[in-house]
Structure 1
Amino acid sequence: MEESIEAGVGSPEPRHPLAYRDYRLFWVARFCGVIATLSLVVVLGWQVYDIARSDYGMSRRAAAFQLGILGFVQFAPLFLLTPIAGVVADRYDRRKVAALSVGIDMLVAGGLGLATWTDALSLPLLFALAALHGVARIFFGPAMNSLAPNLVPAKVIPRAIATNSIAWQFASVLGPAVGGMLFAVFPSLPYIVAVGLLAVSATLITLIKPVRKPDVDLKVHPIQQIRDGLRFVWHDRFLLGAISLDLFAVLLGGVTALLPVFARDILMVGPVGLGWMRAAPALGAGIVALWFAFRPMEHNVGVKMLLAVGVYGLATALFGFSHLFVVSLALLVVLGAADMVSVFVRSSLVQLNTPDAMRGRVSSLSGLAISASNELGELQSGIAAALLGATGAVVFGGAGAILVTVIWAFAFPELKNARTFAPAYRE
């Protein structure tokens, strides 16, 4: 067992992850980093749509398509670099990889703040900095996700994932809301605050004690390690089903990309309202994560994951029909709560069904699926909005997510047959 998670001689191991010093550093670092990046992202989305409408004179549908392009430029580097990021997380110090990734995001936030301050924003510049943000994310995700299981004992991992989700989700509430409000006060302010929070995050990551390196054969060529990771996921039907379910359900059902359209031209609530709408799903997810941190799910976990994805699709479709801000917020809260149930189950099972030497590569592939579902989902939403309008695109996507859930329940019976979080691999 790693030095950082050893219990005292003759004393029982703590059952809560926050009892471990390195996990606390990890938790606060993630909390600060998520507040910063989501504050950055919500303002970035608003600026792309608003500049397309005002400076470029685009129609609502044409400007919505620019939001799709924003998602694509973030996904392109993720698609190209994901296999490399997984190998890097398995071969090198995961703390240093994560801290360096945060440093790249600091440059992105600083560049956006300076361009906003000097009124030098343009769509090409916004897209270029969004692509660089995508590069940072793809190295940060596998490094941090595969680091977390090394900070606590195996039996604490499900609770650690739920506690980690609290950092993610409640920071996801604060980040967009704070970003929207700071932007209304002074447009460069959210980027300035983001730089400071990212600096804190990088510092805390470097303070985590070194952990045992995974048992990776360094004589094996990195290209072969990439192939091994792909082969491992492809031949494990449970991992393949869990990862691909999230990919296709969120790819179709993602509503986040079109929120600037609803905020500016449908619900008429401006950037502050956009911040609250971006925060609402995280509020629902955070409440569920808080519940799981103290009362973790234990039985029939696979069926509950599938049902949660179905509820996610239904809430998405209903949001498309809403023209009342309060109702829209409530549906986004439900959507986020359902998504958190799915994320909690899938993340726990994927980590516990993957050997440590493979966690970086499997986490990178899972991250690619999440990024594809989010960023390519934004592209899909932008195209659908250009063809069907924002309302039609959201309703179509929600119905598609429900259909995917039904198909996956039959195509991958391993998902609904997952009963508990019993680990398949012992450290």
Structure 2
Amino acid sequence: MAADADDQHGTQPTTPTDQSTSDSAKPRWRAMFGSLAERNYRLYASGQVLSLTGVWMQRVAQDWLVLDLAHGSPTALGFAAALQFIPTLLLSLWAGVLADRMDKRKLLLVLESVLGLCALVLGLLTVSGTVALWQVYVLCFALGVGTAIETPVRQSFVVEMVGKSQLTNAVALNSMTFNLARMVGPAIAGVMITAVGSGWVFLINAATFVGVLGGLWLMDTKRLYLPERVPRAKGQLREGLRYVSKRADLITLFALVFFISTFGLNFYVTLALVARNVFSSTASAYGLLSTLLAIGTLTGAVLAARRSGRGSPRLRVLLGGALVFGVLEAISGLMPTLWLVGLVLIPTGAAMLTFTTAANSTVQLSVSPAMRGRVMGIYMLMMLGGNPIGGPVSGWLAAQFGGRAPMVVGGIIAVLAACTGGLVLAARGKYRIPLFRARPTVS
């Protein structure tokens, strides 16, 4: 099968050139939602809206449950976050190998069922009043195992639903879906925790997985853009690592993603600490901060979807998004009131989404289809694998220097990482720093 096998659309083959041409002729609002023309992607996206809302409800409720059981300890919250992300360090690379070898749709059916079961168990324990901190820790680890395998598979499955020509648009729409859920979920969770308790939030999340499973089950497999599946063989993980080791641009991008994600994208820890420990507020305040951040990320996703018709994201967008994100995160950590923190979180979220969408699309569009699963496994390792470090570090910083410290330090590290990444790419001829462009000579 040819190298562009992932763009063979059953009995209706299309090419990126044809798709780009047709997109340019569409009204901008239709081009912005171009990937939804694919029935399989519509099924996937509709299930994700429901499920991700439940996931964000659970994240808020789980963080608050840990703080309640641990009497407000930031270290306990950081440890719970670390347990949830440690499996990423151990399993992401192997998950990428599985993604290249196996039917991603069938694999996702199994993995989403496991994640839903974890939410169900936590909900039953909490509603029955028997939940203990150690049980939450065990379930955090179990969720981490499922997520570590599911995420690279799900990320690399997107291109099989929409093809390469619509990948950037689909990634942006995924971000819109994610952030709609991120905006609605925490707000619902904040109200529900106060009204009926955390347990019912977990049970509702378990029920929402029916939407994801139903969407995957109803897909028309003949309309998937399937690449040639990689046969099982020894050394495939090492082969993926060697592939990345020869790509200086990927190494630089992965390093940038690692530092920003590890120290800058710890909002699941930092916002809870700011709400409870800095401003002595309730779960509703935590939900409010999460919602305002999600408004910003949703705005960034809409802008990314509008830009998607212009081709692959430019490095200037990626580096600029990282730099602006770091500056704004540090500023938000210094704001004197809860509402001012929330207002600054809106543009912070937009910059964060600009960076993450550009990074995801750049990686997927720049690698061989046969390597996409393994490369995305490495990418997700860089994106999530630092959380076992970042979570405890954020908790330690908050305990030693106050609840604002993790956001300020994380923002500074993001700025330094963006500047360093730009300089490295410029030195290798991959990026031209605007300040140092040669001026045209006048004859």
Give the match for residue 220 of structure 1.
233
Give the match for residue 211 of structure 2.
200
Would you say 1:31 and 2:41 are equivalent positions? no
Where 2:385 maps in the other structure, the secondary structure is helix
Letter in 1 for 2:55: T
Give the match for residue 431 of structure 2.
416
Contact 2:43 2:216 in 1 (8 A): yes
Give the match for residue 107 of structure 1.
117
Contact 1:266 1:323 in 2 (8 A): no
Give the match for residue 95 of structure 2.
85
Give the match for residue 262 of structure 2.
251
Would you say 1:164 and 2:183 are equivalent positions? no
User: Shift of the alpha carbon at 1:140?
Assistant: 1.5
Give the match for residue 191 of structure 2.
181
Aligned with residue 388 of structure 1, among 388, 401, 406: 401
User: Shift of the alpha carbon at 1:300?
Assistant: 7.6
1:371-413, Cα deviation, whole Å (9 max, x unpaired): 1244532222112223322222322221122112111211233
Give the match for residue 351 of structure 2.
338
Aligned with residue 120 of structure 1, among 124, 130, 137: 130
Instruction: Return the alpha-carbon distance in structure 2 between the equivalents of residues 4 and 200 of structure 1.
Output: 25
1:301–1:213 distance in 2 versus 1, CA, 3 Å = closer
Give the match for residue 262 of structure 1.
274
Contact 1:277 1:329 in 2 (8 A): yes
Instruction: Return the alpha-carbon distance in structure 1 between the equivalents of residues 10 and 396 of structure 2.
Output: 48
Give the match for residue 56 of structure 1.
none
Instruction: Return the alpha-carbon distance in structure 1 between the equivalents of residues 51 and 176 of structure 2.
Output: 13
User: Shift of the alpha carbon at 1:175?
Assistant: 1.8
Instruction: Return the alpha-carbon distance in structure 1 between the equivalents of residues 275 and 344 of structure 2.
Output: 15
Contact 2:273 2:403 in 1 (8 A): yes
1:281-328, Cα deviation, whole Å (9 max, x unpaired): 222111121122234365882122112111111122122222312111
Aligned with residue 251 of structure 2, among 240, 252, 259: 240
Instruction: Return the alpha-carbon distance in structure 1 between the equivalents of residues 363 and 313 of structure 2.
Output: 16
TM-score normalised by structure 2 residue count: 0.86
Instruction: Return the alpha-carbon distance in structure 2 between the equivalents of residues 404 and 365 of structure 1.
Output: 19
Instruction: Return the alpha-carbon distance in structure 1 between the equivalents of residues 313 and 158 of structure 2.
Output: 25
1:295–1:310 distance in 2 versus 1, CA, 3 Å = closer
1:326-359, Cα deviation, whole Å (9 max, x unpaired): 1111122121100111112111111110111111
Give the match for residue 384 of structure 2.
371
Instruction: Return the alpha-carbon distance in structure 1 between the equivalents of residues 248 and 344 of structure 2.
Output: 33
- Aligned runs of 1:68-83 on 2, under 5 Å? 68-83=78-93
The RMSD of aligned alpha carbons is 2.3
Contact 1:253 1:398 in 2 (8 A): yes
Aligned with residue 285 of structure 2, among 269, 273, 290: 273
1:388–1:185 distance in 2 versus 1, CA, 3 Å = same
1:403–1:212 distance in 2 versus 1, CA, 3 Å = closer
Contact 1:306 1:416 in 2 (8 A): no
Give the match for residue 352 of structure 1.
365
Contact 2:102 2:229 in 1 (8 A): no
Contact 2:254 2:379 in 1 (8 A): yes
Q: Which runs of 5+ in 1 are unaligned?
A: 54-59, 420-427
Instruction: Return the alpha-carbon distance in structure 2 between the equivalents of residues 32 and 212 of structure 1.
Output: 25
Instruction: Return the alpha-carbon distance in structure 2 between the equivalents of residues 45 and 354 of structure 1.
Output: 37
Where 1:120 maps in the other structure, the secondary structure is coil
Give the match for residue 423 of structure 1.
none
Give the match for residue 229 of structure 1.
240
Instruction: Return the alpha-carbon distance in structure 2 between the equivalents of residues 378 and 415 of structure 1.
Output: 33
Would you say 1:398 and 2:404 are equivalent positions? no
User: Shift of the alpha carbon at 1:198?
Assistant: 0.9
Where 2:162 maps in the other structure, the secondary structure is coil
Letter in 1 for 2:421: W
Contact 1:97 1:139 in 2 (8 A): no
1:46–1:218 distance in 2 versus 1, CA, 3 Å = same
Where 2:129 maps in the other structure, the secondary structure is coil
Instruction: Return the alpha-carbon distance in structure 2 between the equivalents of residues 407 and 218 of structure 1.
Output: 39
1:415–1:377 distance in 2 versus 1, CA, 3 Å = farther
Instruction: Return the alpha-carbon distance in structure 2 between the equivalents of residues 393 and 314 of structure 1.
Output: 14
Letter in 2 for 1:103: S
1:131-186, Cα deviation, whole Å (9 max, x unpaired): 11111111221111111111223222211221221111211212222222222221
- Aligned runs of 1:4-19 on 2, under 5 Å? 6=12, 13=19, 15=23, 16-19=34-37
Aligned with residue 62 of structure 2, among 37, 44, 55: 44
Where 1:412 maps in the other structure, the secondary structure is helix
User: Shift of the alpha carbon at 1:4?
Assistant: 5.4
Where 1:151 maps in the other structure, the secondary structure is helix
Instruction: Return the alpha-carbon distance in structure 1 between the equivalents of residues 317 and 88 of structure 2.
Output: 30
1:255-294, Cα deviation, whole Å (9 max, x unpaired): 4112222222322331111112122222211112112223
User: Shift of the alpha carbon at 1:369?
Assistant: 1.1
Contact 1:259 1:278 in 2 (8 A): yes
Aligned with residue 336 of structure 2, among 320, 323, 337: 323
Q: Which runs of 5+ in 2 are unaligned?
A: 1-6, 24-33, 435-443
Instruction: Return the alpha-carbon distance in structure 2 between the equivalents of residues 130 and 390 of structure 1.
Output: 23
Instruction: Return the alpha-carbon distance in structure 1 between the equivalents of residues 11 and 206 of structure 2.
Output: 31
Letter in 2 for 1:23: Y
Letter in 1 for 2:202: Y
1:233–1:31 distance in 2 versus 1, CA, 3 Å = farther
Letter in 1 for 2:292: A
